[in-house]
Amino acid sequence: MNANPDVSIIVTSGGDLDGLFANQTLRRFEVVAEFNAAGGAWVLFAPEYVVLERHIVKNLLLAAEQNGADVAVGAVRPHLLPTTVSVEELSKLNAHSGEIPSTHVLFRREWLSAQTALLDELVKGAARIQISALIEAKIIVTIAQEVIAPKLRKMPNAKNAKGSPFKNLPALAFHFAKLMPLKNEVLFDVEGGRAIDTELPALATQWRVEHPKVHQHWVAARNRHSFTHAWHLGRARWLVVNEVFRNRLPKREGQIMVVAACSMPLLRVGRDNPDWVLQPTSERRPAWSQVGRWDLACVASPLNEQILRSSTAFVGEVVQASVFGDAVIAAASEPHTKSQLTLDQDRPVVVLTFFTAQSVPDLTVLADSFRDTIQLFAVTDDGSRLQLPDGISQVTENVAKWLAVADLLVTDWSVLTLEFGRLQRPIIALEPHRVDVVRRRGTYVDLMSVLPGPVVESVSDVLPLLHEWIKDRDTLSSFNERSASFAALAGQTSGEAAKRIWSAMVGV
């Protein structure tokens, strides 16, 4: 193929060699049937049936040359930008198998000639290479293999319906819904479901009372891409979404898309986090991808607005209003809330809130220590059922009221932390996953310096704090001054959040 090749691709099993690699970006290569016939300074072994990805050989070659390596290994994971690694490190990256496909490896021919055992295996047609066989080499890991664009989730549209309408009923539903006029309907396309009554369910409830003629349809993650979802996507005048990372929803002319931003201040995956490629593909799309479609943003707090503005390029209207925050404040100002919840008036109430059910640590020691002195309740953002020790009850309804009566919150940064913050009561941050999540991913605010309470990493660290707090409720008073600043981050409530959001949405 080339009189002066840089790379020799060795295909030991014969076949139609010329046709196999015609699409390569690198032109200076040859295809030969045996190692002894290789003329290039670099060699790569490929089985006959493989079609190499277009840029793979060139990426391997450039990485090897630029780093003076003996062996270049193509990485499937795109976060492995060119890096020199030891055999041990490479083994860790491929811990499940301890071997690499031969098509991912480019060898300096001179180096390989000296590795008789390895060469012998390859010449015999081995399709995989034991990493331990590369012990003598200087190895560079680079981008090379199949890093083709992440699959975009197939959303219903007329194009998808073409050809095979009955294979894609949602597409068909969307197609026909689009032919009809828009309906005064709100579609809540919501991540996280409606297990507990936080922001969006609270909003939906309020609107149901205030605008009973406006139909609402609620779609949680598991019901997406159904026939009904697609039908409402095509007809609803207002789309309310709560996830910045949603893949693109189709949007009709005249439809208003509202994003509700009320998440916690973990840095968004995609822009700020160098490890974003480790996230599932569905979360990897940058926060900007959906922004162009949003018409209005509803933020629950000034902090949420700050996050929205700094993590996206959103230029539309922003309404700062928290329906759930209104509910918490209203419940807190109501003198009989504690009685309504049939709580003991004398014992303090501590609510434990968690990001997800998976993040709930073993709370037995906490229950054992405070069963008689504190009324303990637990809530998760996703509302999933918890296995709790005797002495701690789970709360899934009237969460606003439970927050309102809590004297202290213990949380791992659940979304409820900010809502509780408005009450200016102490918060203990229990972050058993701190190392894994908060430290790795980072936050928009310095948690240690803004929280109105201490930050601890285990349940056993909470015990002495609670013991002291029981003895003297002012024990956490050193955090008092932070209570006001944290409440400012959480924002004020007007009692009319749902009304304000509605008028902004209708006025767009």
Which residue of 55, 108, 175, 482 would you call a contact of other proteins, by CB under 8 A?
Answer: 55
Helix (H, G, I), strand (E, B) or coil at 79: coil
Residue 59 within binding range of other proteins, rule CB under 8 A:
yes
Report, in Å, the least distance between residue 308 CB and other proteins.
Answer: 9
Q: Hey, what are 176's tokens?
A: 């026909």
Contact between 150 and other proteins per CB under 8 A: yes
Residues 43 and 173: their CA atoms lie apart, in Å, by 53
- Candidate residues 46, 58, 178, 216; the one interacting with other proteins per rule CB under 8 A: 58
Q: How far apart are CA 483 and CA 420, in angstroms?
A: 11
Decide: is 508 part of the binding site for other proteins (CB under 8 A).
no
Question: Comparing C-alpha atoms, which of 499, 500, 495, 505 is closest to residue 186?
Answer: 505
* Residue 352 bridge partners (DSSP): 378, 410
Q: Does 81 bind other proteins (CB under 8 A)?
A: yes
| Minimal distance, residue 303 CB to other proteins, in Å | 13
Minimum gap (Å) between residue 289 Cβ and other proteins: 5
How would you classify the pairing of strands 99-101 and 71-75?
A: unpaired
Among 68, 78, 125, 464, contact with other proteins (rule: CB under 8 A): 78
Q: Give least dist CB 252 to other proteins, A.
A: 16
CB 62 within 8 A of CB 29: no
Of 193, 250, 292, 442, the one binding other proteins (CB under 8 A) is 292
Handedness of CA 271, 259, 420, 196 (dihedral sign): negative
Tell whether residue 83 is a contact of other proteins (CB under 8 A).
no
Which residues, at least 6 apart from 56, have a Cβ–Cβ distance to it below 8 Å? 24, 74, 103, 104, 144, 145
User: Which structure tokens are listed for 422?
Assistant: 């408005």
Query: Which of 105, 143, 267, 331 touches other proteins (CB under 8 A)?
Result: 143
Candidate list 15, 19, 25, 397; residue touching other proteins; CB under 8 A: 25
| Angle at the Cα of 296 from the Cα atoms of 290 and 297, rounded to 5 degrees | 80
The answer to the question of residue 153 lying near other proteins (CB under 8 A) is no
117 lies in the site for other proteins, by CB under 8 A:
no
DSSP 277: G
String of contacts with other proteins for each residue 357-396, x by CB under 8 A: ----------------------------------------
Distance, in Å, from the CA atom of 119 to the CA atom of 126, rounded to the nearest integer, reads: 10
Q: Which is nearer to other proteins, 165 or 274 (CB)?
A: 274
Residue indicated by tokens 């944290």 = 486
Q: Which residues bind other proteins (CB under 8 A)?
A: 6, 25-28, 53-55, 58-59, 62, 78-79, 81, 143-144, 147-150, 152, 271, 276-277, 284-286, 288-289, 291-292, 309-310, 313, 315
